[in-house]
Amino acid sequence: MTPKNLTPQPAGQYILYKDVKSRIVINVLYENNDVWLTQLQMASLFHVSRENICLHTRSVHKMAELQEKRTFKKFLIVQTEGSRTVRRNIAHYNMDMIVAVGYRIKSPAAMQFRKWVSQRCKQVIIEKQKKVPVKKKA
Contact 104, 55 (CB under 8 A): no
What tens digit of pLDDT does each residue of 120-132 get? 888 888 888 887 7
- 6 three-state secondary structure: strand
Please tell me the predicted confidence (pLDDT) of residue 16. 56
> Domain coordinates of the chain in residue numbers?
6-131
What tens digit of pLDDT does each residue of 34-80 get? 889 999 999 988 999 999 999 999 999 999 999 999 999 998 888 88
Q: What is the pTM assigned to this prediction?
A: 0.74
Q: What is the mean pLDDT of the chain?
A: 82
Q: At what angle do helices 39-46 and 108-131 cross, to 10 degrees?
A: 100
* Order of all β-strands in the sheet with 24-31: 6-7, 72-81, 84-94, 34-37, 24-31, 13-19
In angstroms, the CA 27 to CA 75 distance is 14
